[in-house]
Amino acid sequence: MLFREYLHPDFLDVVDNIYAQGFKLAVVGGTVRDYLLANSNKHDYDCELRPLENKNEKDLLESFKALSFGPKWEREELPFNVTRLSNGHFTVELSLARMEQYSAEFSHSNFKVVHSQKIDHRQGVLRRDFTINSMMYEFDKSWSFIDPLDGKNDLENKVLRACSSDFQKDPVRYLRAIRFHILLDFELPKEITSKAQNLRREDFNPQYLRYEATKSGRPLVYFFKFLSLLNIEY
């Protein structure tokens, strides 16, 4: 199956619409991962946009905010200049290519965002959690596969590899690591397990813990894996 055939027709209309308004769109993360694993499409699209023409940061943001999508889509503006579209059946999250500059705080939102025309695909995916979620298909008149961090090789070898050292600054990424370990039966590398030994249960927001445990499909197994990762006796 071609990647285009894997996508929902309503989403393809969004892609064409955005392209007509001066942006090429890349589908990044779970949709691409599931496509390569031949899993069903959950139709929850994470997208990164780049302008077709050169723009400074101010004009880039203004053009992004000015995008229109028609009455069938409900639009919501999220933090960090992310736009979420919903048509009642699935969601699409749109953001400009960006870099995230982290502070020393250990939290899920301890960064500021930088948008620039000059951010290439490799720089853009360094903010993501794992290389298996950094692969993308970009539409620029046709769909092309882009894999800046060799995530396809990690997917084939069932390895969770962090996209950058910033991984260790965000507690939610450790929680996502456990979820993918359970869901996909992927290896947890020592670079993640060794860092986790220095963390405490109090470092993790219970809301995010419950969310990731539920998404794992095996919440009880997830919780014991969580305690084991932090080297907490139970």
Q: What is the DSSP string of 81-136?
A: TEEEEE-SS-EEEEEE-EEEEE-SS-STT-EEEEE-TT--HHHHHTTSSBGGGS-E
Residues 132 and 152: their CA atoms lie apart, in Å, by 7
Residues 148 and 126: their CA atoms lie apart, in Å, by 9
Give the pLDDT of residue 143.
98
Residues 217 and 29: their CA atoms lie apart, in Å, by 19
N-terminal to C-terminal alpha carbon distance within the chain: 46
Q: Which residues pair with 98 in a beta bridge?
A: 115
Residues 90 and 86: their CA atoms lie apart, in Å, by 6
Residues 121 and 138: their CA atoms lie apart, in Å, by 10
Q: How many CA atoms lie within 13 A of 92 on its CB side?
A: 25
pTM over the 0.85 mark: yes
What's the one-letter identity of residue 153? N
Give the pLDDT of residue 110.
66
Q: Which residues of the chain fall short of a pLDDT of 70? A: 102-111, 232-234
Give the pLDDT of residue 29.
93
Sign of the CA dihedral running 196, 198, 201, 203 = negative
| CA-closest candidate to residue 14, choices 56, 54, 52, 43 | 43
| CA-closest candidate to residue 186, choices 157, 162, 213, 165 | 157
Q: How far is CA 144 from CA 20, 53, 138, 161, 194, in A?
A: 18, 19, 5, 23, 37
